[in-house]
Amino acid sequence: MSRFLIPLLVLILCAMPFMLGRGMLFLGTEILVIIAMAQAWNLLAGYGGLLSLGHHGFIGIGGYALFIVTRDTGLHPYLAIPFAGFVSAGLALFLAPILFRLRDVYFAVGLWVSAEILRIVVMRVDFTGNVNGMPLTAARNLNREWMGTNAYWLALALAVGVTFVVWLMMRSSFGLRLQALRDDEVAARSIGVAPKQVRLIVFMVSAGFAGMAGAVHFLSSLFITPVAAFDMTWMVTLVFVTIIGGIGRLHGPILGAVLYFALREFLGFSSSWYLFALGAAGVLIILFFPRGLAGLLDTIIAKFTKKGTAS
Amino acid sequence: MIWVETLLNGLMLGGLYALFGLGLSLIFGVMKIANIAHGELAIGGAFLAFTVVGVVPVPLVILLPVIAVLMFGLGYALQSAMINRVLGDDPIPPLLLTFGLSILLQNLLVELYGANSRSLDPGSFGVAGIDLGGLSVGLLPLMTLLITITLFVALQWMLSRTSFGRTIRATSDDPEIVAMMGVDRRHIFALVMGLSALLAAVAGMLLATRTSITPFSGAERLLIAFEVIVIGGLGSIWASLLGGLVLGVVHAIGFRLDPASGLLYGHILLLIILLVRPEGLAGKRRTR
Amino acid sequence: MLEVSALDAFYGDFHALFDVSFALNPGETLAVVGANGAGKSSLLGAICGLVTTRGEVRLNGKNLTNLSTPARAKAGIALSPEGRRMFTSLSVRENLLMGARVGRKGPWDLSSVGALFPILEEFADRPAGLLSGGQQQMVAIGRALMANPVVLLLDEVSLGLAPVIAEEVHAALAKLRGTSEMMTLIVEQDVRRALGGSDHYLCLLEGRDVMNGLSNAVDFDALSRAYFGESAA
């Protein structure tokens, strides 16, 4: 069934720009960007067991990479998106020798500190427009009429692409090795899994996708500042969207993101009450439904089909 | 002379940092988890103090212990009602749970108190200083350092000399076998979290006497506390003191050379330590 | 009196012990023998409440089945665990004092444990993690005795010890026998030694009681067959 359903869904999502107003389209772009980012984080944390609290560093660097390369080389902004991914993946490659000595909380906070260093440096360097940030100078080459629509399509392509890549990776022997490593490192080593190599790949892929998603986000907003680029709120959103949806599940980030934005639009809380509610929801889910919405859905499906859990 | 003063300021600042690190090091040592909400507990203690002072203007000497005891209760409650439920072989759930608590507490503070910065009025000695052979040293930072050292000595005494301290160390060594000694480890964990929250809150209040804070200051405090235990190393409370002092001096020197640096040099020091000496300056070998 | 009836033990999904029953009178010692993985440690763990169980454990008529491990310890169950499980950062004295933490009154204190194992008195201030295996075993037994237990559970007493040290430990255990109301369960690799130091024996195979009886009336050939799981023909 899902063989037809998923392409149909993607097709409908593709057609959205012709049905939605400007505001809704912008919201759609935001949701899709968050899905892509949450998939990237979930790949590392949920499947790889490497919890990051510093993905906002990769997001920010991806955004800046796009702004700088289009400013200095005249590269078309849309083509600069993969470049942004490479820059973020390269940053991961650079950080890996330091952070891979660490586990668990050390790794998580070590990455957070790295993101902080990036934020402070970017704020102080004129090359990146220092604390004032910079506009997307290449925006003058873009078609104003289609800019919003194109950003939406880019975000859609990215969200679908990242989800597809994660799906492919987890079906491959690489995915098995990664999850074996997460569940029991000693046992995984004994069957010949090379921990460093596997983790480095997943770290770089996750960072690269986060960077591309950051690039798409700031491309759609046409302006970047250090405060917005390296905002911890990115991290908070990614973590809780994934937890609420179901960590370590492919549809977790998607379910979580949809619920997250639905609540945000309907409740219309102030941003701090909203974040408060998000934190509280995260705490409750970890305590009472550690498998998130995806797990809940499994239980419901299992009840109806009486055949055990799906997927 | 200016460098001697910088060094001295750094050491006094470092004493406070050490206090932030101490609570985090304690729970890490006993439970092998970190509390991402550590900074919010520290800042939350200071905000609680603002509220109390707003109602009844009590002097700092009374305020400090009262808030400390309240925060001990909060720490105990958080551990026994929530964190104990997710402790297990997987370190990720407690990490995510405390991350959730940190976001929740931070934004609760924003809603209750607004995002404006505040500070605790330390009274008359806030501006007083003493002259040490041409060096002027503020009375307030000196007091802070004194309180910090007192707390370190008291904690060391408790851990090494009392039956409760022995039980804490035994629980840290082997949390399963202590059960055969009639010890409920969840209770010990909750007491340790209470202690950690108490230390954090005292540090938070002392911080608020020397600088103004906002509800967003918690994250910064967590990073400092974390850096203290990485730089110093785990395994003894003196390692936290050393880590705090080193970080304080680095921040003071960094600030002298480059006033806009903020926490940058501390962050860089962290990465250098991780690269060249991951067990910390005074730490024992880590098991993981 | 210790009464164990229809006891099962589980580690997660793994069923480690099946339907084990026995009773022990005050002052008696039970030797639990069996090959590696036969369920000996699971039996001790089940009595302590360290593993999930089904069945019943009664001590002097009191049902312990639904009590937590700390509560069982307070009721008088003490364990010298497999692998000794020292509190490595505590000194020898502090390890022993941890054993006394359950707060039960009785003959055992630092001085009587010191009289049983003189080396512990000498090394009282050393970190337990730095002791030799044999010395750690003595600390583990001493720590369990400090609880003044009604039931003393001794797991793998001489595993990994040099023969002369194992001899020393068993000599000390022999002094304990018959001197008090304390009941003892001993798990020991060396079957002859285990039987020599006990009143009853219980042989486990793949988690099941395959043979039991009085230690001084054992048929070694039959026991050997039961131990290795060869049918008694």
> How far C232 CA lies from chain B's nearest CA (Å)?
39
**Residue contact B181–C98, C-beta within 8 A:** yes
First to last CA, chain B: 44
Low-confidence residues in chain B, pLDDT < 70: 124-127, 284-288
> How far C77 CA lies from chain B's nearest CA (Å)?
8
Q: Suggest the residue from B38, B84, B92 to mutate for an interface test with chain A (most A CBs closer than 10 A).
A: B92
Comparing CA positions, the residue from C132, C135, C102, C100 lying closest to residue C120 is C135
Tokens 């950690």 found at: B196
Grouping H, G, I as helix, E, B as strand and the rest as coil, residue C15 is strand
Measured N-to-C along each axis, helices A77-99 and A55-73 cross at an angle, to the nearest 10 degrees, of: 140
**Residue contact A120–B34, C-beta within 8 A:** no
Q: Is B223 on the interface with A (CB under 8 A)?
A: yes
User: Does the structure show a pLDDT above 90 at A300?
Assistant: no
Q: Which two tokens stand for residue C160?
A: 């990994």
**Residue contact C147–B176, C-beta within 8 A:** no
Facing B274 at nearest CB: one of A49, A110, A286:
A110
Q: Report pLDDT for B108.
A: 94
- The whole-angstrom distance between residue B24's C-alpha and the CA centroid of its chain comes to 6
> How far B195 CA lies from chain C's nearest CA (Å)?
21
Average pLDDT over residues A227-245: 91
Grouping H, G, I as helix, E, B as strand and the rest as coil, residue C7 is strand
**Cβ-contact B260, B53 below 8 angstroms:** no
Scored b (16 or more CB within 10 A) or e, A169-185 reads bbeeeebebbbbbbeee
**Residue contact B177–C48, C-beta within 8 A:** no
Judged on CB neighbours under 10 Å (0-12, 13-18, 19+), A192 is exposed
Between CA A290 and CA A211 the distance in angstroms is: 28
Chains C and A touch (3+ CB pairs under 8 A): no
Between CA A97 and CA A174 the distance in angstroms is: 21
Q: Report pLDDT for A129.
A: 80
**Residue contact B169–C90, C-beta within 8 A:** yes
Facing C73 at nearest CB: one of B163, B174, B181:
B181
Cα-based angle A11, A12, A17 (whole degrees, multiple of 5): 105
* C-alpha distances out from residue C94 to B159, C38, C118, C135, C139, Å: 12, 34, 16, 15, 10
**Residue contact B99–A282, C-beta within 8 A:** yes
Q: Strands (DSSP E) along A47-164, which ranges?
A: 134-135
- Chains A, B: CB contacts within 8 A come to 115
> How far B91 CA lies from chain A's nearest CA (Å)?
7
Neighbours of chain A (3+ CB pairs under 8 A): B
Q: Is B151 on the interface with A (CB under 8 A)?
A: no
Determine the residue of chain C that is closest to B171 in CA distance.
C87
From chain B, the residues in CB contact with C147 under 8 A are 181-182
Percent of chain C with pLDDT over 90: 71
Q: Is C102 on the interface with B (CB under 8 A)?
A: yes
**Cβ-contact C166, C143 below 8 angstroms:** no
**Residue contact B184–C70, C-beta within 8 A:** yes
Between CA A101 and CA B212 the distance in angstroms is: 36
> How far B15 CA lies from chain C's nearest CA (Å)?
27
Q: Report pLDDT for C233.
A: 46
Q: Is C82 on the interface with B (CB under 8 A)?
A: no
Q: Report pLDDT for A308.
A: 47
Between CA C72 and CA C62 the distance in angstroms is: 11
**Residue contact A286–B86, C-beta within 8 A:** yes
**Residue contact C88–B173, C-beta within 8 A:** yes
Q: Suggest the residue from B38, B99, B261 to mutate for an interface test with chain A (most A CBs closer than 10 A).
A: B99
First to last CA, chain A: 13
From chain A, the residues in CB contact with B262 under 8 A are 120
- Return per-residue pLDDT of chain C as tens, 233 residues: 999 999 999 988 899 999 999 999 999 999 999 988 889 999 999 999 999 899 999 999 999 999 999 999 999 999 999 999 999 989 999 999 999 999 999 999 999 999 999 999 999 999 999 999 999 999 999 999 999 999 999 999 888 888 899 999 999 999 888 788 899 999 988 888 889 889 999 999 999 999 898 988 888 888 888 888 876 54
Q: Please, which residues have CB within 8 angstroms of residue A24's CB and are 6 or more apart in sequence?
A: none
**Cβ-contact B33, B216 below 8 angstroms:** no
Q: Which two tokens stand for residue B23?
A: 């609570």
Between CA A240 and CA A128 the distance in angstroms is: 30
> How far A43 CA lies from chain B's nearest CA (Å)?
14
Facing A272 at nearest CB: one of B85, B97, B110:
B110
From chain C, the residues in CB contact with B180 under 8 A are 48, 50, 69, 73, 77-79, 81, 144
Neighbours of chain C (3+ CB pairs under 8 A): B
Determine the residue of chain B that is closest to C70 in CA distance.
B182
Facing A276 at nearest CB: one of B108, B262, B288:
B108
How confident is the model over A131-149, as pLDDT tens digits? 888 988 877 777 777 877 8
Comparing CA positions, the residue from C81, C145, C158 lying closest to residue C114 is C145
Determine the residue of chain A that is closest to B258 in CA distance.
A124
Q: Report pLDDT for A290.
A: 86
Q: Suggest the residue from B31, B95, B257 to mutate for an interface test with chain A (most A CBs closer than 10 A).
A: B95
**Residue contact C70–B179, C-beta within 8 A:** yes
How confident is the model over B93-150, as pLDDT tens digits? 999 999 999 999 999 999 999 888 888 877 766 667 777 777 777 788 888 888 999 9
Between CA A85 and CA A280 the distance in angstroms is: 33
Determine the residue of chain B that is closest to A275 in CA distance.
B107
How confident is the model over A45-74, as pLDDT tens digits? 989 888 999 999 999 999 999 999 998 898
Q: Report pLDDT for A311.
A: 44
| Cα Rg of chain C (Å, integer) | 17
Q: Suggest the residue from B180, B183, B185, B236 to mutate for an interface test with chain C (most C CBs closer than 10 A).
A: B180
> How far B88 CA lies from chain C's nearest CA (Å)?
14
How confident is the model over A79-112, as pLDDT tens digits? 899 999 999 999 999 999 888 887 778 888 899 9
